[in-house]
Amino acid sequence: MKIFNTLSRRKEEFVPLEPGKVKMYVCGPTVYNFIHIGNARPMILFDTVRRYFEYKGYEVNYVSNFTDVDDKIIKKAVEEGVDAGTISRRYIEECKKDMADLNVKPATKHPLATEEIDGMLEMIGTLIEKGHAYVAADGTVYFRVKSFPEYGKLSHKNLDELQSGFREIKVTGEEGKEDPNDFVLWKPKKEGEPFWESPWCEGRPGWHIECSVMAKRYLGDEIDIHAGGEDLIFPHHENEIAQSEAANGKPFAAYWMHNGFLNIDHKKMSKSLGNFFTVREVGEKYDLQVLRFFMLSAHYRSPLNFSADLMEAAKNGLERIITAMERLRELKEAAKEGELTPDEQEGIRESDKLTAKFEAAMDDDFNTADGVAALFELVKLSNTTASENSRKAYIACLEEKIGQLCQVLGIITERKHQVLEKEVEELIEKRTKARKDKDFALADQIRGQLLDMGVVLEDTREGVKWKRL
Ligand code: AMP
Ligand code: ZN
């Protein structure tokens, strides 16, 4: 298996630290809002990477954090007049619902930054002891970038270049830095913010330290794969390397994987630009399996532009796969027992070749685009060679092969009835009319029907409102 490693900028053969095992850390979202479909891209892709390792027989320990202390969370909490924990807990739950709808497996562990403060204090203490960090007059602790000569090795930046870029910049509140490249490990509390005791000041951690600490705690000092979106290469991952390697004295992650951006009108989708769709919004229009399939249609390192056309194409593609699987399941019921015919034996050989083609694509830096193409060829083989006259064993073999590849891609092949906004609105309209006509039995029946679909109605002065259970 080959993986493109951001560290070397080359595809490298994957050699696990421990045979048969993969230790993988993926940076998770900051939870102050519903996740957008840009955030969903790494979730879907690295879940697929995990599934492929599992398919190949590896045991994967997959850790992905939630950043639950951050300026944006605090801002939102102040706006709503609640504490930061209320905001982060709410959006962690919402994010987990979205992940389930996208068929993203829960991580082996989803650590929360606020529950790992003791580990952060310990690592910061070690860094200070070893001379890699220092405490400024106001109690802020900074990482001393110059103490780590390899700084820049992931982002391929040169410290001197960085230095000249920073020369003029003096960030208010960071006057205590020895060097403009130094970054915060621990900062003093501000009025009204959550804070923790520490040997340096009452305060809270910088963002980068949380991932170094969680990776160490749940996976160990050395891990196989560290992943996230390409916006995290610098400074986040560069800083993680500096912290972890300086504190642990060992190489941190062997392979660094970064996904390209999900764009809209060829610009990165982001909360700060406001050009985003939440997963929830897209889920109102499409089954979220379509979104997953859309993401897998491109290579993970390429930029991907979100568009209605591509989503329609994904929807049709997915439909083809699901229809083929449904047909196989029906055919299997009626199929004959008995020895495979020579044509069927040939069909099995062809399906083996296509499975091998899928694996070759995935072995080549997880080329899901080519993997999906091989899956379509398998679907075509099934549509053209399986029939009422086929042997049961032949149908079962095709069903198993297509099913296995779908499992790797995280595609559910059972047709699930997705309740769409349009459907709900139509039923509500019908119920409103029934009530106007004083047909209360019908109105109640429709309310019950909607409830069965997981939709509750609320009659308000402004009209009928509805929400999903
Ligand atoms: P954030 O909540 O912004 O820290 O992002 C969580 C994860 O989503 C990180 O791995 C980001 O790199 C990734 N991400 C954010 N926006 C996009 C985007 N438009 N396309 C792809 N990945 C993104
Ligand atoms: Zn991280």
Say how many Å lie between the CA of residue 128 and the centre of ligand 1: 31
pLDDT, tens digit, 9 for 90 and up, residues 202-245? 999 999 999 999 999 999 999 999 999 999 999 999 999 999 99
Q: How far is CA 33 from CA 93, 100, 303, in A?
A: 11, 17, 24
Say how many Å lie between the CA of residue 179 and the centre of ligand 2: 23
What is the residue extent of each domain of the chain? Answer: 2-259, 302-409, 422-468
CB distance 228 to ligand 1 below 6 Å = yes
| Residue-level pLDDT at 424 | 86
Q: Compute the CA torsion angle 405, 407, 409, 412 (nearest 10 deg).
A: 120
> Which is the closest atom of ligand 1 to the Cα of 230?
12
Q: Ligand 1 atom 17: the closest Cα is on which residue?
A: 38
pLDDT, tens digit, 9 for 90 and up, residues 82-99? 999 999 999 999 999 999
* Spatial contact of 202 and 111, defined as CB atoms under 8 Å apart: no
2-259 fold? Rossmann fold (3.40.50)
Q: Give the chain's radius of gyration (CA, Å).
A: 26
CB distance 455 to ligand 1 below 6 Å = no
Neighbours of ion ligand 2 (CB under 5 A): 27, 211
* 165 band by pLDDT with thresholds 50, 70 and 90: low
| Domains 2-259 and 302-409 fall in the same CATH topology | no
> Which is the closest atom of ligand 1 to the Cα of 228?
10
pLDDT, tens digit, 9 for 90 and up, residues 424-464? 888 999 999 999 999 999 999 999 888 888 888 888 888 88
CB distance 65 to ligand 1 below 6 Å = no
> Which is the closest atom of ligand 1 to the Cα of 262?
20
> Which is the closest atom of ligand 1 to the Cα of 39?
8
Between CA 449 and CA 458, with CA 454 as vertex, the angle to 5 degrees is: 80
Q: How far is CA 9 from CA 94, 155, 196, 432, in A?
A: 36, 10, 40, 61
CATH architecture, domain 302-409: Up-down Bundle (1.20)
| Residue-level pLDDT at 417 | 58
